[in-house]
Structure 1
Amino acid sequence: MSEINVTPLVDVMLVLLIIFMVTAPLLQQGIDVNLPKAKGRELPAEERVTIVIKKGNQFFLNETAMSRDALVKKLAAISKQNPQVFLKADRDVPYGVVAEIMGEIKEAGIEKLGMVTEPSISMQ
């Protein structure tokens, strides 16, 4: 009676396992891309926590200007309220700065992070 050779199957499975192990940390960080234009509906008006990053590394928390260190300290206090945080970043702000702030938000324990974009102008 002939046997099925499972060696190629095991090889393929190990390669897939390695691929998933390498890509899984990228998925867990949840780094969103700041698109300058996007279609979508406006969220209902409620008390929102908004972090704004302007060109020149200017940081704002709900329209209050502050340093990056002060912002990080405030994030720890905000995380206890379990809010949804919205991040507005100027399109000219380097991606690295946005990614670092997103990392700080996640490290503070804030799980709900949304990126704010401008609505796109559709040509009709």
Structure 2
Amino acid sequence: MLKRTRSRQRRRPMAEINVVPYIDVMLVLLVIFMVTAPLITQGVKVALPQEKAGGIPSPTTESLIITVDEFGDYYIDIGDEKNAPASEQILFDRIRVVLEYTPETPILVRADHRVDYGRVVRAMVVAQAAGAPEVGLVTVPPERREP
């Protein structure tokens, strides 16, 4: 009996937690997310016209952006299929739903500079028909030329 009590007294439970493996795993995950995050961001590539224009005040809500690519296809940045071309009816339906819940949402159209002007105007008409009081155009400021 005497031996058992002595062996129990010698073994104490370890109260420290080794966190080094957790830090290693966290750093590996951080590197993976840093590498993959830029790859996840997808969008429709358009070359915006470069014009000098006044900026719009930063809205309190997020803008709804309609994109017209160089082939004249429409894209809208809400819904499950953001990178799939949308018909005018889909544009109309999605804009109407957004404006129904948040009527102050700014509607912006960004179009490739090579697209037919009629396609841009048609996107604006669809947005106004869906209930948008104003529709803005997105441009890129022109490059500065050094004298």
Tell me: CA distance 1:60–1:42, structure 2 relative to 1, closer, same or farther (3 Å).
Answer: same
Aligned residue identity for 1:112: E
Residue aligning to 1:78: 98
RMSD of aligned Cα (Å): 2.3
Partners of 1:51 and 1:37 in 2: CA distance: 18
Q: Aligned ranges for residues 1-12 of structure 1 at < 5 Å?
A: none
Q: Please state if 1:48 is matched with 2:50.
A: no
- Cα deviation for residue 55 of structure 1 reads 1.6
Contact 2:74–2:86 (Cα < 8 Å) also in 1 = yes
Partners of 1:120 and 1:43 in 2: CA distance: 19
Residue aligning to 1:38: 51
Match of 2:86 among 50, 67, 80: 67
Q: Secondary structure at the match of 1:117?
A: coil
Figure out how many residues of one structure are paired with residues of the other and give that number: 90
Q: Aligned ranges for residues 95-114 of structure 1 at < 5 Å?
A: 95-114=117-136
Partners of 2:142 and 2:64 in 1: CA distance: 23
Q: Secondary structure at the match of 2:74?
A: strand
The one-character-per-residue Cα deviations of 1:65-97 (angstroms, maximum 9, x if unpaired) are 242121221121122221101110111110111
The one-character-per-residue Cα deviations of 1:4-57 (angstroms, maximum 9, x if unpaired) are xxxxxxxxxxxxxxxxxxxxxxxxxxxxxxx82123447548522111010222
Partners of 1:41 and 1:51 in 2: CA distance: 18
Tell me: CA distance 1:87–1:95, structure 2 relative to 1, closer, same or farther (3 Å).
Answer: same
Identity of aligned residues (%): 23
Tell me: CA distance 1:43–1:96, structure 2 relative to 1, closer, same or farther (3 Å).
Answer: same
Residue aligning to 1:7: none
Q: Secondary structure at the match of 2:135?
A: strand
Gaps in structure 2 of 5+ consecutive residues: 1-47
Q: What TM-score, normalized to structure 1?
A: 0.62
Larger Rg computed on CA atoms: 2
Gaps in structure 1 of 5+ consecutive residues: 1-34
Residue aligning to 1:123: 145
Larger strand proportion, structure 1 or 2?
1
